[in-house]
Amino acid sequence: MPQSREQLEANEHQTLAPYAQRSADSRGRAFPEPPHEWRTDYQRDRDRITHSRAFRRLEYKTQVFLNGTGDHLRTRLTHTIEVAAVSRNIARALGLNEDLAEAIALAHDLGHSPFGHKGEYALNDLMKEHGGFEHNRQSLRIVEKLEQKYPHHPGLNLTWETREGLVKHFNPADHPSKRDGFDAKSNSLEAQVANLADEITYYSHDLDDGLDSNLLDEEDLKTHVQIWRDTDAEVRTEHGALDTETRHYAIIRRLINSQVHDVVETSGRLIAEAGVQSADDVRLHDGDLIRYSDTRRTANLELREYLYENLYYNPVVHKPNLRAIKLLEALFGHYLEHPEDIGSQSRARIETDGLHRAICDYLSGMTDRYVALEYERLGL
């Protein structure tokens, strides 16, 4: 017999830390629904996210390398799955709600535009007189309004706690708590975990793709990035001579493991020092409790600076994305003059949200390849 939802909720009360967010204590959904027979609310959120159109489109959106430039290079979808895995591991180690952390991780990039951050910057510039564009806000907009899968409400009708977690860079003006009468200063620990897991995954796996594509030189990396140099030495000491691909994988794996260990150790200490005894104690605490140690943060900043200089702004990565941005700009201008050419769902929101926002929604939802196809179809 399957476990009932009540049994799963009881298990959470017995096994999770007091400061974890329990499913039974959810603030609920904007549109009330009867509970499921054998799934908790956060399990339902996770399933709704993975069944959404926005989630499926992540497969064809750029992570770093323009989509389609390499079969083994990461896409926005594979990045998202990796973030979810790291989130679950950290949440489990700290006694937090794994289902909530996973749901937030799976939804965190739903609002990303085509062509990665270059596409985000382009849309923000195009929308500067009309509210701007930021992918975290767009993720929240997607799950609250743009996904149309249910007959009685817009969006996915996710729980308050999952929507809370999508406000990645905490801004009181954006936070769901401001709409619902709770004066939060921080997000839940599960949301903080998903946020930091994104960073752990992003830089570690971008290293992997950069080396795999031969855009990063290992000897130069060893010279300029201490965390790589030290980890490489550890791998060579433990395993001796390895072929290049196996050694790179061993270093990346060790880098991720050491970062997760650092976060768990540091965060456990900070949580204990803060004395929080409930999920709302965490929200009322001023500042994140899920953090790197100062030493690790400094090492990561060195790695981040190196990646920006040698990978993200490498002409092989940078120039194709810049060319792709021209397609976005051309399409935006075309739709301003010909709003009849945007999709029917976006077109239906022109009256309520304005033409610029409707176009932005339509463009930000496109995959990399659909932008190119649409540009060609319209003869721009």
CA-to-CA distance for 311 and 116, rounded, in angstroms?
14
CA-to-CA distance for 200 and 218, rounded, in angstroms?
20
Per-residue pLDDT at 325 exceeds 80? yes
CA-to-CA distance for 362 and 138, rounded, in angstroms?
11
Question: Considering the domain 5-19+35-212+248-377 in this protein, what is its CATH number?
Answer: 1.10.3210.10
* Residue that the structure tokens 């290049």 belong to: 244
The three-point CA angle 296-302-304 to 5° equals 100
Per residue in 239-263, pLDDT (tens digit) is 998 998 899 999 999 999 999 999 9
The pTM (predicted TM-score) of the whole model is 0.93
Instruction: Say whether 242 sits in a helix, a strand or coil.
Output: coil
Per-residue pLDDT at 175 exceeds 70? no
Report the Cα–Cα distance between both ends of the chain, in Å, rounded: 59
**What does the pLDDT read at residue 115?**
87
Q: Which tokens sit at 175?
A: 């936070």
Per residue in 101-142, pLDDT (tens digit) is 999 999 999 999 998 888 899 999 999 999 999 999 999 999
Per-residue pLDDT at 168 exceeds 70? no
Which runs of consecutive H residues, i.e. helices, occur in 142-188?
160-166, 176-180
CA-to-CA distance for 108 and 115, rounded, in angstroms?
17
Contact (CB, 8 A) for 371 and 331: yes
Q: At what angle do helices 244-274 and 226-239 cross, to 10 degrees?
A: 120
**What does the pLDDT read at residue 165?**
94
